[in-house]
Amino acid sequence: MTAWILLPVSLSAFSITGIWTVSYNESCSPDPAEQGGPKTCCTLDDVPLISKCGTYPPESCLFSLIGNVGAFMVALICLLRYGQLLEQSRHSWVNTTALITGCTNAVGLVVVGNFQVDHAKPLHYVGAGVAFPAGLLFVCLHCALSYHGAATPLDLVVAYLRSVLAAIAFVTLV
């Protein structure tokens, strides 16, 4: 195994940590006036949504940073996975389509991160409408590539795991 395996793990860790930081900074401010009214921190009735939490500085700056760095990491992961499959002599239209959808996902993430929902709602929603389905299509295409290229029983287990995770992603997207 190479050190490149840490890239997807670090993408998840960075994104989750950044999103929690933005949400916490916005919704758990000690001053109730900064929360948008006299509300208690993080109640079930007032769940902080990341798009709303990242509207004003400094949270909007963090939100943009998370989106841009995350998009760069997504594009890098897509290129590395594409190259990995090319090395395994699996040049196919599915692999090329997966690369295109992964990069489309990255572009959508840049748009979502840089256009906050309260200031540029149509652009924010277009970015989300591009990023989420493209990311799901990328995952589904790699499920097909995993099944098609499974040479060992462990490869088949990875293909099954990817399919389960893709199904979970589909359910959460809908």
Residue spans per domain, the chain:
7-173
Cβ neighbors of 104 (< 8 A, separation 6 or more) are: 130, 134
Mean pLDDT across 123-142 = 94
- What was the pLDDT predicted at 6? 81
Please say whether the dihedral angle defined by the alpha carbons of residues 159, 1, 152 and 76, taken in this order, is positive or negative. positive
Global pTM reads 0.79
Q: Which residue's entry shows tokens 């979502």?
A: 112
Give yes or no for a contact between 123 and 74, defined as CB atoms under 8 angstroms apart: no
The DSSP string of 76-87 is: HHHHHHHHHHHH
Mean pLDDT across 143-147 = 91
Tell me the per-residue pLDDT of 31-73, one tens digit each, with 9 for 90 and over. Answer: 555 545 444 455 555 666 666 666 777 778 888 888 899 999 9
Residue predicted with more confidence, 161 or 3: 161
Residue predicted with more confidence, 44 or 7: 7
Main-chain dihedrals φ then ψ at residue 84, nearest 5 degrees: -60, -45
Angle at 18 between CA 27 and CA 66, to 5 degrees: 115
Query: Dihedral angle at the C-alpha atoms of 133, 136, 140, 143, nearest 10 degrees?
Result: 160
